[in-house]
Amino acid sequence: MPEKEIREDDFLNFDTIMSHSQKLEEELQKLGLRIKHHEDNLKFLKAQIDGIDESILDLQVELGKYHSRALETENSIISPEKSENHTVENILKQERSVAGLIYYMKLDHGPLAAKLPLTKDVLGVVATLGKVHDDNFSRPYVGEFIPEDPQRRLDLLKPRLANGETPPEFIGFAVNMIDLDRMHLAYITPNGLGLRETLFYNLFSRLQVYKTRSGMQCAMPYISDGAISLDGGIMKNNGVYYLGDRNNIEVRFPISSGISRLPENVIETEKNLKLINWKKERFFEDMKREETLLNKAKALFAAKKEESINYLKETALNWKQYSFAICHRGALALQEFIKMDNSLKA
């Protein structure tokens, strides 16, 4: 080092060094606490998701048991597939009808039929959009919905006798005896209306269903929009009767598998399953956010740590130079003192 006078201003002030070092240490501690906070949050969210997965598994097992029992019952009674195939076969027999034409186009063109100009806006043939619980109910139908009904049945006022009771053989409104397939329940108009309250209601209005012709005739004063009976009787809204035979009907609604009409506890279980899956998705979103924040905090910690190390290295080097300069000045002063002492002795 050159032997020139070294001023104290050339070196870092000790208090400044200590103050800055302490500031860096505090910032590192804060970042460390932030990292721990995000890690704890991730552990909590992971535990919540694990618990939700167990709940989902339990609900899926419960639903699986129900559907297994329902399938066994269904197979022991009737084959809905055969019923639906029978409906399609009878539609195809109507060669000159629009319904028959549409089905022939589906057979010829397959999935591409839906994109043809003639069929691109056609949802399907009416008799295949819904199913009934029993072949006896394969008749015209009506609608407006009942609260909490997954099938969105129409809440129509039942006919009432003078004593306030419904006619003895009144079964219900035809529209509410149709079970819409689940995929068709999702079809709605721009106004939010479904098939039951639009297509079926426009077709059948408030058509009533009775067990027998005689029961229908007895209830005639309470029939406003026509009625039918399970033994083939038809009453128009003008009171005209047609006492036909149900065997004359060629195209009927296929029989429902019964799966669409779910028990209340199963409906509640499905709702809970949807809710839990929704919560799980929210937890996953929270985890992604926490992981992003954790990675950011770790990056800041690494940068601050590197800054602190570099500062300490630089400070140590400066102090080394400062200490060397002090020692050098002391040595020079000692030499001057010795020279002075020798001159005095001489």
Assess contact for 140 and 204: CB atoms under 8 A.
Answer: yes
Residues 188 and 138 in one domain: yes
How many structural domains are present in the chain? 3
Percent of residues, the chain, with pLDDT higher than 90: 13
pLDDT recorded at residue 88? 54
Determine the pLDDT at residue 98.
46
Flag whether 304 is in a domain.
yes
Residue 123 has pLDDT above 80, yes or no: no
**Model confidence at 305, in pLDDT bands (50, 70, 90)?**
confident
> 304 and 197, same structural domain?
no
Quickly state the pLDDT bin for 289 (edges 50, 70, 90).
Answer: very high
- 247 and 136 in a single domain? The answer is yes
Token readout for 120 is 């691109």
3-state secondary structure of 237: coil
pTM over 0.85: no
Please check whether residues 116 and 187 belong to one and the same domain.
Answer: no
Pairing between β-strand 208-210 and β-strand 178-180 as defined by DSSP bridges: unpaired
Residues 155 and 187 in one domain: yes
Instruction: Tell me how crowded residue 155 is: count the other CB atoms within 10 A of its CB.
Output: 12
Residues 135, 100 share a domain: no
Confidence (pLDDT) at 234:
84
Which residues have CB under 8 Å from 314's CB, separation 6+?
none
Q: Are residues 162 and 222 in the same domain?
A: yes
Give the residue with greater pLDDT, 231 vs 188.
231
**Could you tell me if residue 342 is inside a domain?**
no
Residue 203 lies in a domain: yes
Is the model's pLDDT at 328 over the cut of 60?
no
Asked if the model's pLDDT at residue 79 lies above 90, the reply is: no
114 and 227 part of one domain: no
Q: Has residue 2 got a pLDDT over 70?
A: no
224: containing domain: 124-254
Pair of tokens at residue 157: 């006022």
Residue 98 lies in a domain: yes
Averaged pLDDT, 207-216: 89
Q: What is the pLDDT of residue 26?
A: 85
- The domain that contains 132 carries what CATH number? 3.30.70.1620
What pLDDT is recorded for position 29?
87
Decide if 308 is inside a domain: yes
Give the pLDDT mean for 143-159. 78
- 104 with 62, same domain? no
The pLDDT value recorded for residue 167 is 92
Asked whether residue 187 falls in the same domain as residue 176, the answer is yes
Same domain? 138 vs 234: yes
Beta-sheet strands, E only, within 203-314: 208-210, 227-229, 233-235, 241-243
In a domain, 63, yes or no: yes
Residue 282 lies in a domain: yes
Q: Are residues 175 and 208 in the same domain?
A: yes
- pLDDT value of position 126: 45
Kindly state whether residue 56 falls inside one of the protein's structural domains: yes
Collapsing DSSP to helix, strand or coil, 334 comes out as helix
